[in-house]
Amino acid sequence: MISTRTELITYPAPPEAVAIHDFSVRVRAENGEWQDLFPYLVPVDIDLEDPRTIYVKPGNHRTEELAALLTSSIGNVSDCEGLLPEVLYFGPGMHVIEEKILRIPSGKTVYLAGGAMVVGSMVCDHVEDVTIRGRGIIYLTNIEKTTYLRTVQIDFSRNITVEGIISVDPPHYSIHLGK
């Protein structure tokens, strides 16, 4: 017999996050207690085919959708304890990157904790062995569209891993892959 352990992990939103107040959202694991979720105001342009992404349209509103992102656990920053000097950690809360671009050097892990919102683009240019992971959000909604920033830009690099992060409304591509 195969058994599956179901665990519901939710993260608080930073105080600066913008909510939509047209509805409320509650979740629970099977037979668990109901928990309120923060309803982020997120522009949604397309429906992805990922079976772990669920879109619910309340009523007949064409511009408002509830996006629930359900994924498996990928661990947390404590899994990287031996590498801590190599980890750039964004904890819960709002983080605004100056100049809107974070250039990541070789050998680094960027970890976005659940509840973290990072305003800015992650750039891997001529680097190797970089990991960008976590349960946080890269939030580019208020970035000028003519900047052509991407959530993650990878150019002339190798051994780059991106997993578990949420990209919200990038001005250009979510992940740009160069040569």
Task: With CA atoms as reference, report the closest residue to 109 among 87, 78, 135.
Answer: 87
**Cα–Cα distance between 94 and 97 in angstroms, integer?**
10
**Token code pair at residue 113:** 């904790």
In the chain, where the domains are located: 77-177
| Exposure class string for 89-119: b at 16+ Cβ within 10 A, else e | ebebbbbeeeeeebebeeebbbbbbbbbbbb
Q: What is the pLDDT along the chain (179 residues), one digit of tens a residue?
A: 565 666 777 888 888 877 777 777 787 777 888 888 887 776 655 444 544 444 455 555 544 545 555 555 455 555 444 456 688 999 889 999 988 999 999 999 999 998 899 999 999 999 999 999 998 999 888 777 777 788 899 999 999 999 989 888 888 778 888 87
Q: What's this model's pTM, rounded to 2 decimal places?
A: 0.68
**Cα–Cα distance between 114 and 117 in angstroms, integer?**
9
